[in-house]
Structure formats: structure tokens, C-alpha cells
Amino acid sequence: MKKIIVVLIFIFAAIQAMAQTEPKTAEEYFNRGNAYFNQKEYDKAIADFSAALKINPNYAEAYNNRGNAYDDKKEYDKAIADFTAALKINFNYAEAYNNRGNAYIEKKEYDKAIADYTVALKINPNYNKAYNNRGFAYVSIKEYDKAIADYTAALKINPNYAEGFAHRGAVYFEQHQYDKAIVYFSAIINVNPNNTKAFNYRAIAYTEKKEYDKAIADMEAVLRINPNYPNAKENLEIIKKKRGSN
């Protein structure tokens, strides 16, 4: 908490200092724009990025960051235009491809989003955010196997995603969206094959989908890893009875 307060104070102080002396260079406008952006003062950020671009029309980062400001304002067409301008200047700008993909996601143009994330990953094969975002796009169009592959790749690059994936899986599970829940638990299992909680959740999700063989395999995996996992033995017997009655 103290670190957050210190960072906020620093950003505020930076804005105050820059406000007292009007920027003169593109870089100074760009830096102040970033400070405004971090404070969620998007209109001021956009004004400064625009000023930077008047001085330097080939400032790809200014286009990219102004695009992010437009995106946060939900002005997605303007955001896409800016990300596209950044890419005309620097066609190897992986972050701009990723950001444009995010804007396409908001417009539910999933094929365009997937195409942009794919280019970003060709430029930077370790771009975990692009894997994560493309995974979300695949979930949105119900291409679950591809989503699992992308989320697995994202987790391998950044294991810190695991907690968020577990939360998302649990939310989808509670919403009875079992296909989506299975995607997240499968990615976790692919990276951590000893995660009993993920196996247990996936087993129950498969049971709800009446895919009993898969459910049994997952519940047996739970018991191999932890023979004392709560209710696992009882749940395994219940699943076997359900399979037998179908």
C-alpha cells in the first residue's frame, strides 16, 4: 500500500512540475501525456500526444499511447486508427499489434483481433499478453482447443497468470459455462500437472457436460496426487454411477 501511495505521489508531482513549465519538445509532451494517462486524465493525455505528433509526425510511440487513451475512453475506431498509424511507421511494433487487437476485441471483431495477436507473436514469440489475449479471442468464438494452447503458452512464460486463470475458471464454473471453465483449468493443468484443485473443478465440469470418462480420469488424477483430497473418493463413485446409468 505504501509503495502505491509513493508512486501516485511521484506521478502527481511529475504532472505538477511539468505543468509549471510548458513542454517544448515532442519527448516532453509525450512524457507529460504518459503522466496524464497514468492519472486517467485521458483528454489531457490525448492533447499532449497530439502535440508531440505535430512536432514529430513519425513518433510511433505517441500514436500508440494516444491509441491507448482513446481505447480507455471506449473510442475504439480512433484507437484503431492510431495503432494503425503507429504500425505504418514501425511495422515491427508488437505492442501496437497487441493493442489494436484489444480494440478489435471490444468491437467483437475477433478474426481481426486474432490476426493482430498472431503478428505480435511472430515479432515477439515470448509476448505472454498476446498469447493471453488471443486465448480470450478464441474462447469468444468457441475455439476452445486453440484457447487452451494459448493460455498454456501464456502460463509457461508468466506463471503469475495462474491465479487469474483459476479465478476466471471458477467464475465460469459458477455461471454454468462449463466449456469456458474447462479451458482455464486445462491450461493450469498443462503447466502444473499436480494442481488438484484444477483437476477437481474440471472433473465436475466434465460431469455436468456428461463427459463421464473424462470426469473419472480427472477425479482419479486428484486421488493419485492427494489420496485424502476432500470428497474426491465419494465424487468418483458418484460419477461412476452416473456413467453406468447412461
Cα 67 to the chain's mean position, in Å? 18
> Residue 161 and residue 196: Cα distance in Å, rounded?
17
Average model confidence (pLDDT) across the chain? 93
Identify the pLDDT of residue 9. 55
Is it the case that residue 13 has pLDDT exceeding 80?
Answer: no
The string of pLDDT tens digits covering residues 181-212 is 999 999 999 999 999 999 999 999 999 999 99
Q: What is the mean pLDDT of residues 39-65?
A: 98
Identify the pLDDT of residue 60. 98
> For residue 152, which phi and psi values (nearest 5 degrees)?
-60, -45
HEC-encoded secondary structure of 201-246: HHHHHHHHCCCHHHHHHHHHHHHHHCCCCCCHHHHHHHHHHHHHCC
Q: CB under 8 Å to 240, separation ≥6 — which residues?
A: 212, 216
Identify the pLDDT of residue 10. 56
Band (pLDDT 50/70/90 cuts) for residue 245 is confident
**Percentage of the chain with pLDDT > 90?**
89
The better pLDDT of the pair 16, 191 is held by 191
Q: What is the pTM of this model?
A: 0.84
CA-based Rg of the chain, rounded to a whole angstrom? 23
∠ CA 21-63-137, rounded to 5° = 135
Q: Are 236 and 220 within 8 A, CB to CB?
A: yes
The candidate with the shortest Cα–Cα distance to 110, out of 140, 81, 87, 130, is 140
Q: What is the mean pLDDT of residues 66-95?
A: 98
Is it the case that residue 143 has pLDDT exceeding 90?
Answer: yes
Q: What is the mean pLDDT of residues 61-83?
A: 98
**197 C-beta neighbours (distance < 10 Å), count:** 15
Which domains can be identified in the chain, with CATH numbers?
A: 1-125 (1.25.40.10)
Is it the case that residue 52 has pLDDT exceeding 50?
Answer: yes
Q: Which three cell numbers stand for residue 161?
A: 497468470
Q: What is the mean pLDDT of residues 39-64?
A: 98
> Residue 37 and residue 29: Cα distance in Å, rounded?
12
Band (pLDDT 50/70/90 cuts) for residue 16 is low
Q: Are 113 and 137 within 8 A, CB to CB?
A: yes
**Burial status of residue 52 (CB atoms within 10 A of its CB: 0-12, 13-18, 19 or more):** buried
Band (pLDDT 50/70/90 cuts) for residue 2 is very low
Identify the pLDDT of residue 158. 94
Identify the pLDDT of residue 8. 53
The string of pLDDT tens digits covering residues 150-173 is 999 999 999 999 999 999 999 999
Identify the pLDDT of residue 14. 57
